[in-house]
Structure 1
Amino acid sequence: MITCRIILALLTGLLSFTSISHAETIWQQAQWATTATLGNSYSPGNELRFGQLGLSATWDYAHVWAHRAPKELKFKVEGAAGLASTPHCRAIVSANMLAAYPLEALTCCGLRPFVEAGIGLIYTDYQVDNQGLRLNFNPVVGLGGEFATLSGQRWFVTARLHHLSNGELHHDNRGINSIVLQIGRHF
């Protein structure tokens, strides 16, 4: 039941684009970044480690979604691919969408903190005992900061809690929980 609600919410969101030309304009307004992600599982054990390289696009939330939202809210879409050590090297590919909210009141010394949360899909070329599926949902929540170098190049660093679960689409639904560090550079 929860899975159906998530899928319906995703479809409703995708259909909220008013037209194809509007969608094309949206992509042109994105703030793009390259990302590097490192993660380590802590449940069911700490033997899984992974790394990914990716691309992200960030917009003002109101430019993408039709419903009301705080003015400062950002919407981020990211895709990444990499390897996991299980202890053998196995493929891992993910796509996520997140809402990010800057904590302007805590901005200090050029560092602008933010919180983010979202969900996506992740494919892992491995399974832990009782995992059930290789294609899973991937909810994430994180705390990060954005800053600029002396040359003006913008970077961000995020610490995330990362969950992998099939949402009970399969009777075996052993999730994997990880701590993740993501570093990104805007271009």
Structure 2
Amino acid sequence: MDSKEQLATFAGGCFWCMVKPFDELPGIKSVISGYTGGTVENPTYQQVCSDTTGHYEAVQITFDPETFPYEKLLELFWQQIDPTDTGGQFYDRGQSYQTAIFYHDEVQKRLAEESKHALEKSGQFNKPIVTPILPAKAFYRAEEYHQHYYKKNPAHYERYHIGSGRAGFIQQHWGDKK
């Protein structure tokens, strides 16, 4: 990682749907699907899906903050999730599919808290914003077949993105504001 690059880690439900919105934007160096927040070292997808490891499906983004500031990443993150759902995301249920922002330093913590507060005050949602802001923990890269799934399996990805309810939710709540 270049000295001016930083990490951002977001859990937004199924990590397949969290890569594409961030991938290939100016200043984004990489978007990796993986697992974080749990207690098992090097967990497998099957272990994480069992909801026994404490891990979230997440993406870890390496970015250049001069080109793509953390505040912009936060804005884009909020537009990909249902921040009012404590039980998972869309039809993916369970702890591993819950949302969270994992901060890597005190500046990210403050900016994440400010963005959450601004979203709460915006009236964008009629229920409380429940996405927690947590300290970053070890991040484990997911199996290779999960990396950039939207590129490797575009037809299945699109069916999932639409069929899960995510695409409709995003359109309903953000529409042309994105």
Alignment TM-score, normalising by the size of structure 1: 0.26
Greater relative CO, 1 or 2 (CA 8 Å, sep 6+): 2
The structure with more helix, counted as a fraction of residues:
2
The structure with more strand, counted as a fraction of residues:
1
Determine which structure has more spread, i.e. the larger CA radius of gyration. 1
